[in-house]
A = this chain, B = another copy of it.
Amino acid sequence: MTRVGDLRERELIDRIRRRLPPPPAWLVVGIGDDAAVVEPERNRIEVLSVDSVVDGVHFDRAFVPADAIGHRALAVNLSDLAAMGAAPRLALLSFALPATLPLSDFDGIADGLTALAARHGLHVVGGNLTRTPGPLTIDVTIVGTVKRRQALTRGGAKAGDQLYVTGTIGSASAGLSLLRARLTTDDSVLSTDDSRLVRVYLYPEPRVRIGVLLARNKAATACMDLSDGLADAVRQVAEASGVGAAIEADALPIDPAARARLASSGWDPIDAAIAGGDDYELLVAVRPRFTRRFEAAMRHADAPLTRIGSCTADRAVVVVRRDGREPRLSPLPEGYAHFRSFDALRVVPSDIEGR
């Protein structure tokens, strides 16, 4: 078996370059020089982000196929752009590769990454490859653009603003839990429902189109992606905006199959879905008087948006359950903000605590 350590850096770079579409007109100097040179986009401001995925921390090569690793490395960055309302433009890749990584895995990573890039009209303009004695680590730097005064931030929500979330939550956690369970029962066959959950975990769809629609529409007062879980996103938006938030447990868009899977793992499905990471959905705050304009714009969205609660003047961040006679308020479960927790794969908190 050929391994990446058997190839020269340039040969590996060529394997990525081969997968790229023809360079756009704004790319003055592409891959192969000391740096890339690009013509900036007129009348737009630039949105920049970097994010990395590490084997054993953000994914596990034992059950995540190579193309899903490449997909994820870019998706986490596209999700950050989406949360700012920016249209993707270019990316720089930085791979730290163990010498023993099979070349077929390297190719698979490149396939997953370049396929997602192509779907979003994003151009890979440069990068860096290095060897590492440690785990496979992929850093992606992404640059997008947005019109002046249209960038979405975390800090503009006010008390009374309605909170929406795109897609569903908890499916990625449920999918990851299924993949881990399968490791010990290799002969198990996934049902259609379970396949869907696994797919959500493996190939998250960053909400780029919705982010761009939100920026144009100007109805959103705050936006953030759920990469560290809904609980973390609600807390961050509330803190940056100087408000509190009340989330309605009954309103949460949790896939029934995910709910069943999370419950069968012994977790409270609502807590697990709120705290679980890897949902690359968007949390959006909308001023009530803009609700109609917002909902009209969202008819062009490629995923549903669900109203899940509202911002409050009281600074507490709570979840409201109406399963008994009286509504019960409880604090939002902890998310993944703890640096300490990053050395465990991102699953629901009880699982991390158990390690």
Contact partners of A187 in chain B: CB under 8 A? none
The answer on a CB contact under 8 Å between B34 and A130 is: no
Q: Name the residue among A10, A35, A51 with the largest chain B CB count within 10 angstroms.
A: A35
Question: Who on chain B is nearest to A223 by CB?
Answer: B34
Q: Does A331 have its Cβ within 8 Å of any Cβ on chain B? A: no
Question: Who on chain B is nearest to A211 by CB?
Answer: B34
**A36-B49, A94-B50 given; A9·B339 CB < 8 A:** yes
Q: Does A347 have its Cβ within 8 Å of any Cβ on chain B? A: no
Question: Who on chain B is nearest to A40 by CB?
Answer: B40
**A9-B339, A94-B50 given; A132·B135 CB < 8 A:** yes
The answer on a CB contact under 8 Å between B153 and A33 is: yes
| Count of chain A residues with a beta carbon within 8 Å of a chain B beta carbon | 77
The answer on a CB contact under 8 Å between A139 and B52 is: yes
Q: How far is the CA of A239 from the CA of B228 in the complex (A)?
A: 46
The answer on a CB contact under 8 Å between B337 and A10 is: yes
Contact partners of A151 in chain B: CB under 8 A? 28-29, 37
Q: Name the residue among A51, A128, A146 with the largest chain B CB count within 10 angstroms.
A: A128
**A9-B337, A50-B128, A343-B131 given; A137·B96 CB < 8 A:** yes
User: Interface digits, A190-211 against B, CB 8 Å rule (1 contact, 0 not)?
Assistant: 0000000000000000000000
- Which residues of A are in contact with B by a Cβ distance under 8 Å? 4-12, 28-29, 32-41, 44-52, 54, 56-58, 80-81, 83-84, 86, 90, 92-94, 96, 99, 125-135, 137, 139, 141-144, 146, 151, 153-155, 223-225, 240, 337-340, 342-343
The 5 closest A-B pairs by CB, nearest first: A134-B134, A35-B49, A131-B342, A34-B83, A9-B339
